[in-house]
Structures are given as structure tokens and as C-alpha cells.
Structure 1
């Protein structure tokens, strides 16, 4: 079985979503699912310990070249997700994607168009997309 396209997934979400069709329900469920992703990441640090966070100042300066800033940039993460944490985070991300698709449906926005436009913007603006 091949992976569904974003359009197929969005249609599937539309068929499956019964209880939370109200825009307010969808928005709050999307927010809640986003918090659950963040919580799962935090638990991989605080409960499991498979990854560690060692955050420090990135050391950027106004006169720094972009390629130097990119080389200097760090994720602050040490270690690798264990399979349990990876699956927990993946599951929460799936729920988040489900509610993002539901939000797109409620607002009559095509998720594939969102991805395409963002990819186009990234291609066009490159590094400057982040400002």
C-alpha cells in the first residue's frame, strides 16, 4: 500500500471527523494536539532521558555571513530518540496533522496548496524566508 497524498489524507480526515466539526472545536483540538507534541518531546528529555538539551547562546552577530551563521547554528540537542519516544512523538505529530487537516477542511483550504506555497516561498526566499 502506498502512502496517501495530502489530498487523500485531507479527504479521509473530512470523512472521519464527526465530533469536532465546529471551527472552535477544531482550532482548540489543533492547539491541544500541538501542546501534546511539545509535551512528548519534553518527556523524552525529562522522563526517558534519551535526549538532552544543552542550550547556549548561538553567538550570532549582525555582521556575520549567513553561511557562517548556518555552520555555527546548533540544535542544542544531544543524544538520539529511543524507539519508544520516537513512536510517542510520531503519534502526537500524526494527531496534530489530523487536526491541521481538519482546520484546512473547515476553512476550505487545500493542505497540498499550503505545502506547495510554503515550499515555493522557501525556494524563492531561501535564507531570508526565516526573517
Structure 2
């Protein structure tokens, strides 16, 4: 695959999005795609069974630092996605990214700049502390 850029992707989204160009269409399609991600993950556990969700309260010792907390936190996911479930979740996340990009286009925002800005101003600068 040749070099891929978010800029190229953003232009392509703008080019192909015809039917759902209204901001209301984009917002509702984005919400629908988020729900489809949730449903695909749930079905991976409840229908396929390739993963198990072991949900319980996150327990951390009281005498640890914020930096050490990561060692005690869990995703609550046990097992691994089977190829079918992984493909479905991949597809749903891709659709979500499409509609996020469409939203950027409506407001004339550069998605690559948004990602870079988040990286520089939140992840790189604030690190773990920016996600409190």
C-alpha cells in the first residue's frame, strides 16, 4: 500500500459523502455507528463467546501513586476476538471514523491537525494527567 494520509482520506470522505451531507444526518449516523460498535462488542461476548466481559469494580491500593494505578486497572475483557468478530468491530470503527471525518468537513476542520493537536496538547504535554 502506498503512503496513506489523513488529508487524502478527509478529501475522499468529502468527495463521496452525498446522501448524508446534512449536519443532522452526520450527527445521527455518527451516533448510529457508535451504537453499532457497542452492539458488535456485546455480540462478541453474548453470541459468539470469543471474549468474556468480567465487569467488576476497579480496585486499587490506597497507597499508590497515580502513575502506578495503570498496573491495577483492567479492561474487563478476557479472551481475544475471533477473526469474524474482529472484522465486524473493525468495520464498525471504520464507519465511525468516516462520520467523524465528515463532521470535521462540515466545520472545516483538518482531522490530521485535530489528531496532532490532541497528541501535542493532551497526550504529550499532559500525559496520563490530561485524561482525568
The bucket for the TM-score relative to the shorter chain is over 0.9
Question: Hey, what's the Cα distance between the residues in 1 that align with 2:69 and 2:55?
Answer: 16
User: Is the partner of 1:38 in helix, strand or coil?
Assistant: helix
Specify the alignment match of 1:31 in structure 2.
31
Deviations 1:16-57 (A, max 9, x none): 001011111111111111111111111101100000000121
Question: Hey, what's the Cα distance between the residues in 1 that align with 2:3 and 2:85?
Answer: 23
Specify the alignment match of 2:103 in structure 1.
103
Specify the alignment match of 1:129 in structure 2.
130
TM-score w.r.t. the length of structure 2 is 0.94
Specify the alignment match of 2:83 in structure 1.
83
Per-residue deviation at 1:59? 1.3
Per-residue deviation at 1:2? 2.0
Question: Hey, what's the Cα distance between the residues in 1 that align with 2:7 and 2:38?
Answer: 26
Per-residue deviation at 1:109? 0.8
Report which stretch shifted further, 32-41 or 77-86: 32-41
RMSD of aligned Cα (Å): 1.3
Q: Which runs of 4+ in 1 moved over 4 A?
A: none
User: Is the partner of 2:57 in helix, strand or coil?
Assistant: coil
Q: What residue ranges of structure 1 are gaps of 5+ in the alignment? A: none
Per-residue deviation at 1:60? 3.2
TM-score w.r.t. the length of structure 1 is 0.94
Question: Hey, what's the Cα distance between the residues in 1 that align with 2:59 and 2:77?
Answer: 17
Say if 2:67 is the partner of 1:45. no
Per-residue deviation at 1:70? 1.0
